[in-house]
Amino acid sequence: MGAQIIDGKAFAAQVRGQVAEHVATLKDNHGITPGLAVVLVGEDPASQVYVRSKGKMTVEVGMNSYEHKLDVDTSEADLLALIDQLNADPAVHGILVQLPLPGHLNEDLVINSIDPAKDVDGFHISNVGLLGTGQKSMVPCTPLGCLMMLRDHHGSLSGLDAVVVGRSNIVGKPMAQLLLGDSCTVTIAHSRTKDLPDVVRRADIVVAAVGRPEMVPGDWIKPGATVIDVGINRIDAPEKGEGKTRLVGDVHYESAAAVAGAITPVPGGVGPMTIACLLANTLTAACRANGLPEPEGLTA
């Protein structure tokens, strides 16, 4: 295997360390403790795991964590009332509503009721518009984590050809905006893209955010390209025993690593960066709310 492995786990630990240092300084010099409120509606097992681990890491970097667990049949009015209360609470600098929400709740309405300055997921339409027009915004955590790893690996991204496979609002589109902001030549590919292998083959940077296990094989990768694999897919792993599973990305790791210049593994690549960036966004929101300079290198 030729590719350098981009160690997202180690990088995320470094980012969390930077966040913790800034939090300590905010407390010592200004008496401010950043606070992150996470709202979970219902008992989706995967969401419960995410929320628990977000809460744990929030506390580990010295921030306050506020968890709000609501019944699966919570009404939209009650959820919106809670968000209003969090919007008005000066101790809360970041608000995250864990998605997906139960079917009777309008996700767009709920997300757009969060104060954009506290929208640490970066999904509010104001933040989407600000990012699209190159203005200061809250940036979605997963693409922000990808951008940080790419900047760290390449230094400047200017002029590089980037192909983002996937056009979701939470990963593909904001990823493309961020790469454009760093002066890449950006192509967004999706399920209707013609000649996808050829499109991917011309990329210096490939970001795969598809949700299809190992869909991108090594022979789609230009030799020396950087591959960021956002996909998290659970597949059967009979080799580990009956009923066992394992996680794979959207890229076929072994074949891609043989030709790429650098690649993120799954697990241990993009995944850990997402929570680190959530903490970074909460810190950024706390600094902005108090008119203080933002930490260097932790925002787009």
For binding to ligand NAP (CB under 6 A), which residues are involved?
A: 142, 165-168, 170-172, 189-193, 196, 209-212, 230-233, 270-271, 274
Taking a C-beta distance cutoff of 8 angstroms, is the pair 206, 186 a contact?
no
Query: Which CB sits closer to ligand NAP, 115 or 267?
Result: 267
With residues binned 3-state (H G I as helix, E B as strand, rest as coil), the percentages for the chain, rounded to 5, are 45, 15, 40
Provide the residue type at 273 as one letter.
M
Report the relative pairing of strands 161-165 and 64-70 from DSSP bridges: unpaired
44 in active site: no
Catalytic residue among 18, 118, 121, 204: 121
Shortest distance (Å) from residue 136 CB to ligand NAP: 23
Task: Please tell me the distance from the alpha carbon of residue 3 to that of residue 64, in angstroms, as a whole number.
Answer: 39
Shortest distance (Å) from residue 209 CB to ligand NAP: 4
Query: Which CB sits closer to ligand NAP, 58 or 142?
Result: 142
- Both tokens of 106, joined, read 């309008």
Catalytic residue among 18, 54, 173, 222: 54
Shortest distance (Å) from residue 194 CB to ligand NAP: 11
Task: Please tell me the distance from the alpha carbon of residue 10 to that of residue 37, in angstroms, as a whole number.
Answer: 26
98 in active site: yes
121 in active site: yes
Strand, coil or helix: 207:
strand
Provide the residue type at 103 as one letter.
G
Q: How many CB atoms lie within 10 A of CB 50?
A: 18
Catalytic residue among 18, 98, 204, 229: 98
Query: Which CB sits closer to ligand NAP, 35 or 172?
Result: 172
Which among 179, 182, 176, 184 is positioned nearest to 160, based on CA atoms? 184
Strand, coil or helix: 86:
helix
Nearest-10 Cα torsion for 104, 79, 114, 66: -130
Query: Which CB sits closer to ligand NAP, 35 or 231?
Result: 231
Query: Which CB sits closer to ligand NAP, 232 or 292?
Result: 232
Residues labelled as active-site residues:
54, 98, 121
